[in-house]
Amino acid sequence: MTEKLKKSRRLPEWLKSSLPKNKNFFQLKSLVQKHNLNTVCESASCPNIGECWDAGTLTFMILGDTCSRACRFCDVPTGNLAAPNPNEPKQIAETLAKLNLRYAVITSVDRDDLTDGGAEHWVKTIQLIRKQCPQMKIETLIPDFQGKMSLVEKICEAEPDVLAHNLETVESLQNRIRPQCRYAWSLDTLRIAASKNNLIVKSSLMLGLGEKEEEVIRSMKNLVDVGCQILSLGQYLRPSPQHLEVVEFIHPDQFLIYKNIGESLGLAHVEAGPLVRSSYLADQQAQAVGLVGL
C-alpha cells in the first residue's frame, strides 16, 4: 500500500515525529556545541532527533561537517572541505565518556579528497573510544572509500562491534540518487566487513524514490548474499526544494511486509517503518542479533 503524492504535498499522519520533551535533549545539544562536534542527527535533519536525544542517544559525525560528494537525497553540505581536526577523535572519546552511554554510533562524511579517505582518522577515533569507554559498544557507519577495500579492512581491524554501510537505494536508482557512488562498492564494503570475525554487519535503504517492490526484494537478497545481518528501511523525506522529490509515501503496512520478506530471506533483523533511519534504535537492533553486554 502506498500513497501517491498529492498537489498539497501534505505529509500523511504516520509521518508525524515528536518534539523534544525533556532536559536530555538540551543537555546533549549544549555538550555538542561546547566541544564543537558534529552530529548526523542535526546535519542530515533527522526526523527522530527529538525522540533519540530525549533518550540520551545520538550519532556523532567525524571528519568535519562538509562532504566531498553531492548525493541528491542528503542534507549534509558539500564542498569547501577543511583539513580534518586532529583533536576530533580525542574530543569524541572524551564527550562519550561524559555521557556514560552503553552504545555509541559514529559516522562520517565522505572525504574523497583525502589520500586514505579518512580511514586513519576513523581508526584513531575507534581506538580512543575503546580507551576512554572500555565497556561501550561501538557502531561505525562508514563510507565506501571509492571501492578501496584495503581502507575498509583497516576499520574492520580496529574492531567496532557493528560495521554499517548504507546501500541507500535500489540498483536502478543509484546513478540518479548518489551519482558518485557505486552499488558494487557498497556490496563489497559489506562483504569485507562480514568476512571479519565478530563484526555484526548492517545496511539501510530509503523507500519512496520510485523503486519497485521487486527491486527492494532483490536488494535484500543482495544484502543477504554478502553477509549483511541487519537492515533498516525508512521513508525518504525531501530535505529542501533543491533535493530530489518524494515519489510516493510508503504505508506502514508495506514496511511490515518488507520486514517479513527480508527476515524470511535470511536477514537476522529488519527495522522497518516510515521514520526509521540508519541509527534509529541502533542498540536494540544490535541486541536483536545477539550483541551482548548491553
| HEC assignment per residue over 135-162 | CCEEEEECCCHHHCHHHHHHHHHCCCCE
Any idea what the CATH number is for the domain that residue 217 is in?
3.20.20.70
pLDDT at 271 over 80: yes
Burial of 151 by CB count in 10 Å (0-12 exposed, 13-18 middle, 19+ buried)?
A: buried
pLDDT value of position 254: 97
Q: What residue numbers bound the domain in which 276 lies?
A: 2-288
Question: Which stretches of the chain are DSSP H helices?
Answer: 23-34, 40-43, 49-54, 88-99, 119-132, 149-157, 174-177, 183-194, 213-225, 252-265, 282-288
Per the model's pLDDT, the better-predicted residue between 201 and 41 turns out to be 201
Q: Are 220 and 190 in contact (CB under 8 A)?
A: no
At 208-232, the pLDDT tens digits run: 999 999 999 999 999 999 999 999 9
At 19-71, the pLDDT tens digits run: 555 656 666 666 656 656 665 555 445 555 555 555 556 788 899 888 999 88
For residue 22, the SS3 value is coil
The model's pTM is: 0.86
The identity of residue 118, as a single letter, is G
The identity of residue 269, as a single letter, is H
Specify if 293 maps to a domain.
no
Give me the phi and psi of 209, to 5 degrees please. -100, 5
In terms of Cα–Cα distance, which of 215, 219, 235, 234 is closest to 267?
A: 219
Specify if 138 maps to a domain.
yes
Specify if 294 maps to a domain.
no
Q: How many domains does the chain have?
A: 1
> Could you give the dihedral angle defined by the CA atoms of residues 216, 170, 71 and 25, in that order, rounded to the nearest 10 degrees?
20
> Could you give the dihedral angle defined by the CA atoms of residues 257, 106, 58 and 98, in that order, rounded to the nearest 10 degrees?
150
Q: Are 141 and 179 in contact (CB under 8 A)?
A: no
* Rounded-to-integer distance, Cα 64 and Cα 84, Å: 6
C-beta neighbour count of 41 within 10 angstroms:
25
Specify if 48 maps to a domain.
yes
pLDDT at 248 over 80: yes
* Rounded-to-integer distance, Cα 219 and Cα 213, Å: 10
